[in-house]
Amino acid sequence: MAAEASASLDANPDPRINLIVLFGGQSAEHDVSCTTAAHVLKAADPAKYRITPIGIGRDGRWSLAAGALAALGEGPHALPGRLEAHGDVIEPTVAITPTAAGQTVVVPLLHGPLGEDGTVQGMLELANLPYVGTGVLGSAVAMDKAMAKQVTTVNGIPQARYMALRAHEVTPGTPAAVAGALGLPVFVKPANMGSSVGVTKAKTVEEVRDAIAVALSYDEWIVVEEAIVGREIEVGVLGNLDPKASLPGEIVPGAEFYDYADKYVDDGSQALIPAPLTAEQVAEVQELALRSFKAMRCEGLSRVDFFFEEGGRGFLLNEINTMPGFTPISMYPKLWIASGMTYSGLIDELVRLAIERHGRQRRNTAH
Q: Which residues are catalytic?
A: 29, 195, 264, 303, 305, 319, 321, 325
What DSSP state is assigned to residue 36?
H
Among candidate residues 126, 143, 144, the one with its CA nearest the CA of residue 134? 143
Bridge partners of 108, per DSSP, are 22
Please classify residue 364 by burial: count the beta carbons closer than 10 Å to its beta carbon, then call 0-12 exposed, 13-18 middle and 19+ buried.
Answer: exposed
d(CA 194, CA 298): 17
Count CB-CB contacts under 10 A for residue 234.
26
What is the residue type of 246? S
Helix then strand then coil, in percent of the chain rounded to 5, is 40, 25, 40
Residue 139 to residue 317: CA distance in whole angstroms: 17
Q: CB of 21 within 8 A of CB of 41?
A: yes
- In sequence order, the 6+-apart residues with CB closer than 8 A to the CB of 61 are 89
3-class secondary-structure state, position 50: strand
Strand residues in 60-199 grouped as ranges (E) = 62-64, 88-89, 104-109, 162-166, 186-190
According to DSSP, residue 131 is labeled: B
Q: Give the separation between CA 335 and CA 248, rounded to whole angstroms.
A: 7
Query: How many helices (H) and strands (E) would you count in the chain?
Result: 13, 15
User: Cα(295)–Cα(291) distance, rounded to whole angstroms?
Assistant: 6
* Total residues found in the chain within this entry: 367
Burial class of residue 79 in the structure, from the number of CB atoms within 10 Å of its CB (0-12 exposed, 13-18 middle, 19+ buried): buried
Helix (H, G, I), strand (E, B) or coil at 140: helix
